[in-house]
């Protein structure tokens, strides 16, 4: 089950965190993986790891917020069966201490970046009359999170885009879903804790972990497992959905 042999997948943000876990898992399931990331070194590392385990991977240094660059990369890839939009950035702040520059930065990467990649992928998938798009949304779509104003805005937009694309292209053989993770232990979390709470890293890590009802953060590999299912043939009847993977956060915290 969940084999991706013969499939060509593009994974944005594939240089680290959830995107990297998805890229590695897709390769293990037989997909040809195209890794897109703003961090050229990280992107190259993921591609090399896949190649070292006898998988097929290509790296693409790409800023998803730049329309022309995204078009160039997708034209280079040619055929795309699966698109996973994992590239994204975060921000801490409410509306009063979120600057216009902060807002624009979140919008450009999380919203415009997702738009750019979907737009390029859809034009390819329509020709083949088949395709799967999986977007990374967030629990912030469903609950109010303190000091996550701009981030919540951007992920709410990703959720809305998911529904719209799923409806518009259902007759073109294109499925589109999103998942909504709670806190995931990625390099971003470690960097955030280090910068924000110097000398209290362990204490804050434990506090953030225990804020999840299940008692810990998710591992990127656990998120990748859900992505694999939704992008596989076993999920062929699933489209237009948002799937929380949150350790009980949404339902058990409300």
Sign of CA dihedral 122, 128, 129, 135: negative
197 is catalytic: no
CB 84 within 8 A of CB 227: yes
Give the closest residue to 181 by CA, choosing from 250, 133, 92, 82: 250
Distance, in Å, from the CA atom of 215 to the CA atom of 58, rounded to the nearest integer, reads: 37
CB 139 within 8 A of CB 181: yes
Q: Annotated catalytic sites, by residue?
A: 151
């Amino acid at each position: 089950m969940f084999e991706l042999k013969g499939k060509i997948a593009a994974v944005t943000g594939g240089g680290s965190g959830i995107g990297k876990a998805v890229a590695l898992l897709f390769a293990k399931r037989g997909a040809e993986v195209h890794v897109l990331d703003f961090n050229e070194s990280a992107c190259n590392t993921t591609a090399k790891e896949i190649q070292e385990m006898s998988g097929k991977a290509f790296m693409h240094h790409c800023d998803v917020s730049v329309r022309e660059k995204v078009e160039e990369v997708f034209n280079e890839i040619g055929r795309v069966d699966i698109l996973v939009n994992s590239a994204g950035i975060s921000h801490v702040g409410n509306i009063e201490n979120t600057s216009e520059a902060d807002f624009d930065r979140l919008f450009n990467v999380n919203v415009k970046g997702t738009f750019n990649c979907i737009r390029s992928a859809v034009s390819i998938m329509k020709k083949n009359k088949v395709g799967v798009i999986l977007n990374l949304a967030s629990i912030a779509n469903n609950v109010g999170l303190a000091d996550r104003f701009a981030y919540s805005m951007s992920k709410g937009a990703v959720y809305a885009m998911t529904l719209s694309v799923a409806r518009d292209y259902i007759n073109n053989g294109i499925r589109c879903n999103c998942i909504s993770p709670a806190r995931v232990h990625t390099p971003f979390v470690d960097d955030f804790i280090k910068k924000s709470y110097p000398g209290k890293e362990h204490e804050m890590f434990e506090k953030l972990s225990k804020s999840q009802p299940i008692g810990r953060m998710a591992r990127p590999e656990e998120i990748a497992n859900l992505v694999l299912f939704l992008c596989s043939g076993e999920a062929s009847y699933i489209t237009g959905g948002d799937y929380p993977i949150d350790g009980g956060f949404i339902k058990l915290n409300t």
